[in-house]
Structures are given as structure tokens and as C-alpha cells.
């Protein structure tokens, strides 16, 4: 472990001088924001000193560098995490206290950059943490959006989106690197020219922008390795200010050139927002790929010269989903057009360097671009993709009887579209899914034709989570208890959490487990009171579903359950219910009407139930607005039930399921995504599994023997009543009724099997919550979940990537 400060006194001295030099004021006159910024600047500069040592070590040992290309990094707040990783949290807290400052209060000033939609972006951030912990020379490469994913506010129950101005007070972790800026060309046309007696291609008449990198340190636990995340911002190549327009009073026109360039990195697109066809998104993808590759190759060149065949030995480029799929053709372009390599040699280097993670099994969610749009924006890249496609077709094995169908399924160019998943598979030496069931479905279904052709490329890497952030940092009460029981080794090696099984029959310890959970529930209740003005009772069960809103994630099923319990309670006051607070949080893509209506339904049901004195002691419904990493860290530790109820076969992996399990929540879930691995690790008796399995869903779909109207008519008292309540007055008081949800579920014949799984789900919930009254048994299940969760540390996932994909 590196020593960051020799003593508390040294910290105080350096910190005071950092505050004064940054603010220009005496310490006593500075504001909390001055003090926060100065603290980050000091920790960042200490981190960069370790980064320099890391860099020297990597160079000296010739360590392979891994570049993780992702269009999203949902990094969360960094300060608390880095103090923990540097081993100086207590020292800094005490030092600040001597100066009359409260570390927890200062940490509230840190922006929580929403540079991702959800699981995919948070995975990328967890991987950065684990790469640094594992001593891998691993670097993130992504986009610096001026506005993150929208901020969600709830108005009359409905989601409203406002801009997330995370940069308004500056971002003290980042360092702008104009010296490393890269010129990126769009449009234009390709011409041939002769260079050293050889015909080459270049693109001329392009419209250029400057990609400017900002570097953020990534501090590994143990303070031995500090890597970096490089994010790119788009700017004009040169300042073109139209003075004439300005003098005319047309200020917008005067600065148009700058505005057009900056638009490329202005916003993060919400997924499911129908972004296809939006030129800006394609520009974003090319910008971070092209600029990122340029800096990767510069580093390689400075260390190994132009011996490009060594590239796969020293560099691994990993593409997180298909947004960086242009890495393949762009690397080919550089090697051929700029470095003068022949196609075959460049292709061999490219495919040995690049690897790809798939995140979705839904054919309709696979990314595609119209050829027309693509080829106009990136003409040379398109030529290379055409050549990749031509060679794929020419080399295709035509001996199998179904070869034509297989060629159609694997073609990069088809039906006027560039198919990015096909491009990613063809350009990569490794293709992985993110949970066992997901990889199996890829092999069997989504990418089956590729799997038949190149089975050796396919492998599974079940997702993982940064256990130091999501357990040690997010849940200090529980972490303290764990450390007292088994020592601090689990921070370094999450497998050591297994030692907790020794305490599963220790009544005093189990009581403390319950007490830590209760403390966390109080902490969340205070947050809810502050944010929503709602009182929730920490003595009730906290039943939690927090994730993006999507039909397949079935928040609708959860709220149907709440409506059912409410209805039954009103009909029969003797109906026993374990007092429960139903907690929801998550954003819906701005253009996804069904998901937004589901949010409005939840808030409308909450409005009725929370104001009905007949059920007040038994149930409350709470929607926490603006789900993001910082409030996730308050929610996960307080959960007792983890709702993981996607339609089986639809959720690739999930990661909140792992975070909740690690914090001692019991999974109430379907056999989907990583829930299956949770059950395998912790035992089915320690979770509550219900519902159709993926093969049963497939079978039911294929048979067509599934009828929403039959289910509606067959159960008028419960399911039928709920469907009717969508359109009558029961929950319409806040902002109207829910015709579109009723329409969706009945006319689309219950496409997500909400009605089909309804009864087994509610039964499972009733059984699970009935067991809550035996606190010792519940706490034992909770502890067993934590003890079984070490395998889900992203340290494990990253070691598998390192050993089986990157060879780093």
C-alpha cells in the first residue's frame, strides 16, 4: 500500500494550502464548495503521482495495455471511493474535523455524472475499479457529454425530464488535455493517390471537428495502481466567429460553427429513445472510436515503433456492446491508409486485438444504421466495411445445405443496413455474453449462425460489481460488522466473504445483522422524507425494485401485486399482510410511452394507498425520483426484498440483483439473467423463485396457447379487477386513468406474461413476507446471501477477462 500522507498533520497542512491557493481566500472565509474542490484537487494530485509510478512500471515491464471502449461510463461520485481505495478515509475525516469540516457534508457537493443509462455504463465503471485493483494497465475510453442522462422529476405522478447540468460548478477530477486533441473528419469523398509508388486512399473535403480528451484518474484499492479514464469532448477545429453576424445582432449565427461542433458531445442518448437515424449519435460513436484509437496507437508507437504485428501482444481493445463497433474498420483504415500495411496483415492484427461483449439478445435491439446515412458520413470507413463484407461472403463455406440462410444471418450489410453486431463479431477474436443463460441464448439463438461457424470465439463472462463501492462504501454499518467478524481481507478478496457462514448460527451476530439493516432503512427513510416529503416506516419490510423502466423488467407486475394486496385488504380486513413499504426507482426513456405510463401508474397507486387510513399501517408505496449511482448506494443497503422479476429469457444479466444480494436482500425473482447464478451460489432455499422459465416462455409463445382475455375472465375478483381499475376512477385521481396500459396488455395479449405470472408471483411474495416475522431466520438468509456473493465481485469478472480474453 502506497503511503499518501505521512500523518494527519501533513494532510492538514497540504489541504489548507490547497484551499487557499485555489480560492485565493483565507481558510475561514471559504465556502463548502471551495473546500470540496480543494479536497478533490489534492486527492487527484496525489493520485496522479501514483499514476506516474504505475505508468513507469507498465513501461519497464512491457505490460500489455487494455483499452475498454464504452460509450457510457456511469462512474458515480469518486471522492469517498478513492479515499477508501487509498486507505486514508479515516485520516482525512479526522483531519477535516480538526479544521471544523465534515467530510460527509463536503462529499454532497460532488456531482454524480450521469454519463450512462444504467447497467451497461455502470458495468464499465465497475470494471475500471477492478482493473486498477488487479494491477492491470486498463484504461477507459468514452464520451464526455456536457449533459448527462436527463434529470427525472415527478410532476402529478408523471416523469418530467430536465437537463442534467453536472458540469455547472466544474468537475475537479478531470484534466483537460488539449495537447492530445485529435482531428476527426466527417463527410467528404474518397480519392486515390500515389504514395511511395503505391495506390492509397484518403478522404478529402471533410468537415472536421476536434476531439479533446479529458482524463479522470482511476484509483485502485491498495493504492498500487492508478489508471485513467479518458473521455472525449467535441470542439471546433478553429475558432470561427462570424463578426458580421454578431454586428447584425444575430448572435446565434455568430457562434454557429462552435455550436455545431459541440453538439456532438452535448448529450447522452437515452436508450430506447428511437435514436436510430440520428446523425449525431453516429458521429459520437465515430468520434470516440477514432480519437480513442488514435491515442492508443500513439502510445504503442512511442513504445514499440511501427512494428504493428506486435500490436496484439501489447494492446487489447475491448468493445462494450456495439457502440464502438467501428473499432474494427477504423483500425483497418489506419493500418492500411496511414501505415501502409496490406489488407491480410492488417486484418490479422485487427482481429487479434479486438474483442466484443454482447449485451442484448433481442434481435430488434441490435444496432443497425442505414447504409445511405453511414456511407455519406464516413465514406472511407464504409468502403472498408464493404470490403470486410465482400470477403466474408466470398470466403463463406457453401457446403452446408442451409448456407444461404446462414450467410443472410451473418451479413454485415443487409437490407440497406449496416449491422453493427455482425461487424463486431467478425472483427473480434472473442465474443462474450454477460451471464450463463445469456451466453447460452446467444449461442443457441441470437448469434447461432456465428456460433456454428466459429464456436471457439464464444465465451461467457458473468457480470460483476465493485464490491468495495457497493458494500464497503455504501453500507458502512454492515461493512464494520463484517470486518469485525472476518477481518479486512474481504476488501481485497471478496471470496473471503464466505467466512461469514461461520456466523450463520450465532444469534447475537444475526441480531447485529438485523440492526445494521435497520440503520440503513432509517438512513433511507430520512432521504425519502427529504426528497419526497413521504414518511416511510423502517419497521416495515423494504421491498425494492430499482432499475430502468422497461416492459420486460415488469415493474407493471410489481404494481399489479400492490394493487391486488390493497384490493384484497379492503375487501377483507382480516386478510393478513406483513407490513411492507414498496419502493420503486428508475428512469424511463423519454420517448418510451409505456414505461412512462407505468411510472405514472405507480405514483397514482401510491397517491391512493398512502392517503388511505384503512391500510396505512400495512402498506406504503414510494417512488424515489431520479435514480442514479449516489441514491442507489442508499437504496441497495436498505433493501430486504430484491425484486428481479423480468420475463424469463429477457434480462441479459442484471447487476442490481448482485448488489442487493451482497447487501443481504433476498431475491424474489424469475430464473433469468444472473438470478440463476445467485440461486446456484446461495441455494434456492435462500431466495424466492417463481414464474415461467425461459424454455416455458418459448414454448408458450410457440404454441400460441396463451390468452389474456381468458385470464381476465377467469379471475374477475383479482386480475380482472386490476385490469378494470386501470380505466375506472380508482387510481385516476392524480392525473387520469391508464387506457394505454390496458390496451397494451389486453390487445397485445400479455406479451410480457405479466398476467400469466401474476398468481405465482403474488403467492411467492406472500410466502416470503410471511417468513419475515422470524427475524433470526430472515437475518440468517440475509447473511447467507452476503456470504455467497463474493463471486460477483467484478474483480473476479475482470480476472476472467484478463486470463481468457485479453491475455494481459
Edge-to-edge order in the sheet of strand 417-419 = 368-370, 417-419, 413-414
For residue 377, the minimal CB distance to ligand PLP (Å) is 31
Q: Is 257 a catalytic residue?
A: no
Q: Is 743 a catalytic residue?
A: no
Q: Is 468 in the site for ligand PLP (CB under 6 A)?
A: no
Nearer to ligand PLP, 634 or 734 (CB): 634
Strand pairing partners for 199?
194
- At a CB cut-off of 8 Å and minimum separation 6, what does 629 contact? 74, 75, 76, 77, 112, 122, 125
Q: What is the DSSP string of 671-717?
A: S-TTHHHHHHHH-GGGSEE-S--HHHHHHHHHH----HHHHHHH-TT
Q: Is 596 in the site for ligand PLP (CB under 6 A)?
A: no
The active-site residue, picked from 547, 554, 784, 796, is 547
Nearer to ligand PLP, 438 or 547 (CB): 547
Of these, 35, 48, 65, 122, which contacts ligand PLP (CB under 6 A)? Answer: 122
Whole-number Å distance between alpha carbons of 242 and 255: 7
E strands, 254-373, are 315-320, 354-357, 368-370
Among 117-125, 331-339, 408-416, 445-453, the segment contacting ligand PLP (CB under 6 A): 117-125
Do the beta carbons of residue 228 and residue 56 sit within 8 Å? Answer: no
3-state secondary structure of 342: coil
For residue 125, the minimal CB distance to ligand PLP (Å) is 9
CA-wise closest residue to 497 among 111, 192, 788: 788
Q: Is 358 in the site for ligand PLP (CB under 6 A)?
A: no
Residues 644-663, one symbol each (x = binds ligand PLP by CB under 6 A, - = not), give ----------xxx--x----
The distance from CA 78 to its chain's CA centroid, rounded to whole angstroms, is 16
Q: Is 25 a catalytic residue?
A: no
Q: Is 160 a catalytic residue?
A: no
Q: Is 760 a catalytic residue?
A: no
Question: Can you count the helices (H) and strands (E) in the chain?
Answer: 35, 23
Q: Is 119 in the site for ligand PLP (CB under 6 A)?
A: yes
How crowded is residue 131: how many other Cβ atoms within 10 Å of its Cβ?
27
Alpha helices in 430-499 (DSSP H): 436-441, 448-453, 467, 476-486, 489-492
Residues 532-571, one symbol each (x = binds ligand PLP by CB under 6 A, - = not), give ---------------xx-----------------------
The distance from CA 808 to its chain's CA centroid, rounded to whole angstroms, is 24
For residue 547, the minimal CB distance to ligand PLP (Å) is 3
C-alpha cell at 584: 420503486
For residue 449, the minimal CB distance to ligand PLP (Å) is 28
CA-wise closest residue to 688 among 704, 667, 663, 712: 667
Do the beta carbons of residue 655 and residue 116 sit within 8 Å? Answer: no
For residue 35, the minimal CB distance to ligand PLP (Å) is 27
Nearer to ligand PLP, 30 or 117 (CB): 117
Nearer to ligand PLP, 119 or 664 (CB): 119
Q: Is 629 in the site for ligand PLP (CB under 6 A)?
A: yes
CA-wise closest residue to 687 among 618, 771, 755, 619: 771
Cα four-point dihedral sign 34, 89, 482, 133: positive
Whole-number Å distance between alpha carbons of 722 and 730: 10
Q: What is the DSSP string of 546-571?
A: ES---GGGTHHHHHHHHHHHHHHHHH
The active-site residue, picked from 655, 667, 670, 797, is 655
Nearer to ligand PLP, 91 or 123 (CB): 123
Backbone phi, then psi, for 558, in 5-degree steps?
-65, -45
Question: Which of positions 786-805 make contact with ligand PLP (CB under 6 A)?
Answer: none
Residues 315-328, buried b or exposed e (16+ Cβ, 10 A)? bbbbbbbbbbbbbb
For residue 628, the minimal CB distance to ligand PLP (Å) is 5
Nearer to ligand PLP, 77 or 368 (CB): 77
Strand pairing partners for 458?
431
Q: Is 230 in the site for ligand PLP (CB under 6 A)?
A: no
Do the beta carbons of residue 95 and residue 135 sit within 8 Å? Answer: no
The active-site residue, picked from 548, 600, 620, 628, is 548
Residues 404-443, one symbol each (x = binds ligand PLP by CB under 6 A, - = not), give ----------------------------------------
Nearer to ligand PLP, 122 or 228 (CB): 122
Q: Is 70 in the site for ligand PLP (CB under 6 A)?
A: no
Whole-number Å distance between alpha carbons of 226 and 487: 25
Q: Is 118 in the site for ligand PLP (CB under 6 A)?
A: yes
Whole-number Å distance between alpha carbons of 26 and 29: 6
HSE value, Cβ hemisphere, 13 Å, CA-based, for 691: 30
For residue 654, the minimal CB distance to ligand PLP (Å) is 4
| Number of residues near ligand PLP (by CB under 6 A) | 13
CA-wise closest residue to 645 among 769, 566, 577, 551: 551
The active-site residue, picked from 281, 554, 569, 659, is 659
Nearer to ligand PLP, 236 or 586 (CB): 586
For residue 432, the minimal CB distance to ligand PLP (Å) is 17
Whole-number Å distance between alpha carbons of 529 and 494: 34
C-alpha cell at 561: 401485486
Q: Is 628 in the site for ligand PLP (CB under 6 A)?
A: yes
Of these, 82, 627, 761, 792, which contacts ligand PLP (CB under 6 A)? Answer: 627
The active-site residue, picked from 359, 469, 587, 784, is 359
Nearer to ligand PLP, 458 or 627 (CB): 627
Q: What letter would DSSP give residue 769?
A: H
Q: Is 780 a catalytic residue?
A: no
Nearer to ligand PLP, 432 or 642 (CB): 642
Q: Is 111 in the site for ligand PLP (CB under 6 A)?
A: no
The active-site residue, picked from 468, 517, 553, 628, is 553
Nearer to ligand PLP, 350 or 545 (CB): 545
Among 178-186, 312-320, 371-379, 628-636, the segment contacting ligand PLP (CB under 6 A): 628-636
Q: Is 125 in the site for ligand PLP (CB under 6 A)?
A: no
Q: Which residues are designated catalytic?
A: 359, 547-548, 553, 655, 659
Query: Residues in the site for ligand PLP, rule: CB under 6 A?
Result: 118-119, 122, 547-548, 627-629, 632, 654-656, 659
Amino acid at each position: 500500500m502506497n503511503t499518501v500522507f505521512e500523518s494527519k498533520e501533513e494532510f492538514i497542512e497540504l489541504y489548507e494550502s490547497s484551499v487557499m491557493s485555489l480560492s485565493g481566500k483565507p481558510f475561514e472565509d471559504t465556502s463548502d464548495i471551495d473546500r470540496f474542490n480543494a479536497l478533490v484537487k489534492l486527492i487527484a494530485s496525489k493520485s496522479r503521482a501514483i499514476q506516474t509510478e504505475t505508468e513507469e512500471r507498465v513501461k519497464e515491464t512491457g505490460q500489455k495495455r487494455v483499452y475498454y471502449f464504452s460509450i457510457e461510463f456511469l462512474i458515480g461520485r469518486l471522492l469517498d471511493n478513492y479515499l477508501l481505495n487509498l486507505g486514508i478515509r479515516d485520516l482525512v475525516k479526522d483531519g477535516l474535523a480538526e479544521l471544523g469540516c465534515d467530510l460527509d457534508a463536503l462529499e454532497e457537493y460532488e456531482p454524480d455524472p450521469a454519463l450512462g443509462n444504467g447497467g451497461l455504463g455502470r458495468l464499465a465503471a465497475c470494471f475500471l475499479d477492478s482493473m486498477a485493483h488487479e494491477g492491470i494497465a486498463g484504461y477507459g475510453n468514452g464520451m464526455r457529454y456536457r449533459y448527462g442522462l436527463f434529470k427525472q422529476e415527478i410532476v402529478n405522478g408523471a416523469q418530467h425530464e430536465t437537463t442534467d447540468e453536472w458540469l455547472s460548478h466544474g468537475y475537479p477530477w478531470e484534466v483537460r488535455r488539449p495537447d492530445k486533441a485529435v482531428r476527426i473528419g466527417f463527410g467528404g469523398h474518397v480519392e486515390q493517390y500515389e504514395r511511395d509508388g503505391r495506390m492509397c486512399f484518403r478522404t478529402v473535403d471533410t468537415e472536421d471537428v476536434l476531439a479533446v480528451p479529458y482524463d479522470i484518474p482511476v484509483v485502485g484499492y491498495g493504492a498500487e495502481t492508478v489508471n485513467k479514464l479518458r473521455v472525449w469532448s467535441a470542439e471546433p477545429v478553429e475558432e470561427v466567429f462570424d463578426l458580421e453576424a454578431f454586428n447584425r445582432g444575430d448572435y446565434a449565427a455568430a457562434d454557429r460553427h462552435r455550436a455545431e461542433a459541440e453538439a456532438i458531445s452535448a448529450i447522452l442518448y437515452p436508450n430506447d429513445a428511437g435514436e436510430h437515424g440520428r446523425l449525431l449519435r453516429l458521429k459520437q460513436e465515430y468520434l470516440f472510436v477514432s480519437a480513442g484509437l488514435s491515442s492508443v496507437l500513439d502510445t504503442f508507437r512511442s513504445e514499440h515503433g511501427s512494428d504493428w504485428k506486435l500490436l496484439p501482444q501489447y494492446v487489447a481493445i475491448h468493445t462494450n456492446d456495439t457502440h464502438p463497433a467501428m473499432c474494427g474498420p477504423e483500425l483497418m483504415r489506419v493500418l492500411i491508409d496511414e501505415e501502409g500495411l496490406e489488407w491480410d496483415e492488417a486484418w490479422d492484427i485487427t482481429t487479434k486485438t479486438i474483442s466484443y461483449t454482447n449485451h442484448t439478445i433481442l434481435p430488434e435491439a441490435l444496432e443497425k444504421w442505414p447504409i445511405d446515412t453511414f456511407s455519406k458520413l464516413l465514406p472511407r470507413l464504409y468502403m472498408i466495411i464493404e470490403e470486410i463484407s465482400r470477403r466474408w461472403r466470398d470466403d463463406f463455406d457453401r457446403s452446408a445445405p442451409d448456407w444461404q440462410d446462414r450467410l443472410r444471418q451473418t451479413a454485415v450489410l443487409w437490407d440497406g443496413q449496416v449491422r453493427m453486431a455482425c461487424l463486431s463479431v467478425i472483427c473480434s477474436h472473442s465474443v462474450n455474453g454477460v451471464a450463463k443463460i445469456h451466453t447460452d441464448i446467444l449461442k443457441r439463438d441470437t448469434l447461432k449462425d456465428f456460433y456454428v461457424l466459429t464456436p471457439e470465439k464464444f465465451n461467457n463472462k458473468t457480470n460483476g460489481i465493485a464490491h468495495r463501492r457497493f458494500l464497503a462504501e455504501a453500507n458502512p454499518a454492515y461493512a464494520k460488522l463484517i470486518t469485525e467478524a472476518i477481518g479486512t481481507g474481504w476488501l481485497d478478496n471478496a471470496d473471503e466473504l464466505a467466512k461469514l457462514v461461520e456466523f450463520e448460527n450465532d444469534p447475537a451476530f444475526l441480531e447485529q445483522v438485523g440492526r445494521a439493516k435497520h440503520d440503513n432503512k432509517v438512513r433511507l427513510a430520512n432521504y425519502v422524507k427529504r426528497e419526497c416529503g413521504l414518511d416511510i416506516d423502517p419497521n416495515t419490510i423494504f421491498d425494492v425494485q430499482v432499475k430502468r423502466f422497461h416492459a420486460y423488467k415488469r415493474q407493471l407486475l410489481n404494481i399489479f401485486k400492490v394493487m391486488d394486496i390493497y384490493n384484497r385488504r379492503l375487501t377483507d380486513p382480516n386478510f393478513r399482510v406483513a407490513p411492507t413499504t414498496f419502493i420503486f426507482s428508475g428512469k424511463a426513456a423519454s420517448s418510451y410511452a409505456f414505461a412512462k405510463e407505468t411510472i405514472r401508474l405507480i405514483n397514482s397507486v401510491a397517491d391512493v394507498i398512502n392517503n388511505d387510513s384503512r391500510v396505512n399501517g400495512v402498506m406504503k408505496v414510494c417512488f424515489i425520483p431520479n435514480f442514479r449511482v449516489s441514491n442507489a448506494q442508499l437504496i441497495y443497503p436498505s433493501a430486504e426484498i430484491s425484486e428481479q422479476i423480468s420475463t424469463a429469457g429477457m434480462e441479459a444479466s442484471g447487476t442490481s440483483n448482485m448488489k442487493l444480494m451482497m447487501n443481504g436482500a433476498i431475491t424474489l425473482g424469475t430464473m433469468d439473467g444472473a438470478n440463476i447464478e445467485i440461486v446456484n451460489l446461495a441455494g434456492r432455499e435462500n431466495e424466492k423463485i417463481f414464474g415461467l422459465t425461459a424454455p416455458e416462455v418459448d414454448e408458450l409463445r410457440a404454441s400460441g396457447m396463451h390468452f389474456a382475455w381468458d385470464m381476465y375472465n377467469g379471475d374477475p375478483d383479482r386480475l380482472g379487477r386490476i385490469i378494470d381499475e386501470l380505466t375506472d376512477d380508482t387510481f385516476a385521481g392524480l392525473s387520469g386513468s391508464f387506457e394505454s396500459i390496458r390496451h397494451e396488455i389486453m390487445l397485445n395479449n400479455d406479451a410480457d406474461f405479466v398476467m400469466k405470472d401474476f398468481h405465482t408471483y403474488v403467492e411467492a411474495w406472500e410466502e416470503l413476507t410471511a417468513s419475515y416475522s422470524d427475524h433470526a431466520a430472515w437475518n440468517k438468509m440475509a447473511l447467507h446471501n452476503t456470504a455467497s456473493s463474493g463471486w460477483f465481485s467484478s474483480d473476479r469478472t475482470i480476472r476472467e477477462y484478463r486470463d481468457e480474453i485479453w491475455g494481459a
